[in-house]
Amino acid sequence: MSVTVVGSIAFDAVQTPAGSRERMLGGAATHFALAASFFDRVHVVGPVGDDFGDAEMDVLRIRGTNVDDVERVAGGSTFFWSGRYHEDLNTRDTLDTQLNVFESFEPKLSTASLASEVLFLANIQPGLQLKVREQCEAARFVALDSMNLWIDIARAELDEVIARVDCLVLNDEELRQLTGKPNLFSAAHAVLEAGPSIVVAKQGGYGSAMVTRDDFFALPAYPLHEVVDPTGAGDTFAGGFVGFLASRPPSERLSAPVLRNAMAYGTALASFNVEQFGTEGVASVTGEQVRERVRDLDRFARFDPIDAPLAG
């Protein structure tokens, strides 16, 4: 079995309270693939320019990821994003977005990418996500991420693609923007009415919450003394979440215990992402280190209810 991801493969420039990088490997599909590759074979689909070197391609290939559908566009430049984080790290300003090779990208997936049973439509123009969704007829579980930019400028296409996925992963603020509902729980239920059966709201340093038609589950972010660079944390979370689900039999994927574990693997992997700049953390971590943090999360979030002798 395998997972196909389409989305940005990028060079990022970031400034965080811990330091800065002028040009590092990034992109939503990159961060997703690095995390999901712990669980299954990943096929990455997306264009890069001739500024994308062999060293970057080797990082994408980590843990057996297939890069045959990473298209090198002669004369083009790789997608570029630049951002600056505020002191609290939960807010950031986008300083620059250059779509570059994505402007004329027409996704054409190889037979191997088309055969994946699990598909992740990482954050990119909803029109492109839709084209990929249409091509991937074999996909039985499809998850999607998006962002405020596309809610603002490509709403109709975004609604169309959301109606055709099983799982929506979005920042909580964007979830509220998408639905016009001020509260996370009612916003998630509005999305469930539109088609998906799982909604995951990412809450930055506060963790994440998951809503299905009959369950709710929330986990804090893994507690860390220092966060160096949150860039890609959401995509890394999605890679852990979707990757874990991909590794389970299809009949189990909507069961609460499996979905809760997917949340834990996403959370654990995201914590390694934010400890270092760019892809450095998730590229170097071992499977056992990930499992250890999942076990820690179980300790941190579990409690046994005590019936207090309450008045009244």
Q: Which of 122, 186, 182, 181 is nearest to 150 (CA)?
A: 122
The residue range among 205-213, 230-238, 245-253, 293-301 that interacts with ligand AMP, by the rule CB under 6 A, is: 230-238
**Rounded Cα gap, residues 276 and 39, in angstroms:** 22
For the CB of residue 124, give the shortest distance to ligand AMP in the complex, in Å: 5
Instruction: Give the integer Cα–Cα distance in Å for 285 and 71.
Output: 28
Out of 10, 144, 199, 201, the only residue in the binding site for ligand AMP (CB under 6 A) is 10
* CA–CA dist 65, 148 (Å, integer): 29
Using the contact rule CB under 6 A, the part of the chain among 21-29, 34-42, 104-112, 152-160 near ligand AMP is 21-29
Q: Which of 3, 4, 5, 26 binds ligand AMP (CB under 6 A)?
A: 26
123 binds ligand AMP (CB under 6 A): yes
Stretch that binds ligand AMP, among 107-115, 128-136, 182-190, 227-235 (CB under 6 A): 227-235
| Binding-site string for ligand AMP from residue 65 to residue 104, where x marks contact by CB under 6 A and - marks none | ----------------x---------------x-------
216 φ/ψ angles, rounded to the nearest 5 degrees: -140, 140
Q: State the nearest-atom distance from the C-beta of 304 to ligand AMP, in Å.
A: 34
Query: How do the residues of the chain divide into helix, strand and coil, expressed in percent and rounded to 5?
Result: 40, 25, 35
Q: At what angle do helices 126-135 and 155-162 cross, to 10 degrees?
A: 30
- What's the CA gap between 131 and 126, in Å, rounded? 9
Stretch that binds ligand AMP, among 23-31, 51-59, 181-189, 217-225 (CB under 6 A): 23-31
By the criterion CB under 6 A, which residues form the site for ligand AMP?
A: 8, 10, 12, 26-28, 81, 97, 123-124, 149, 231-235
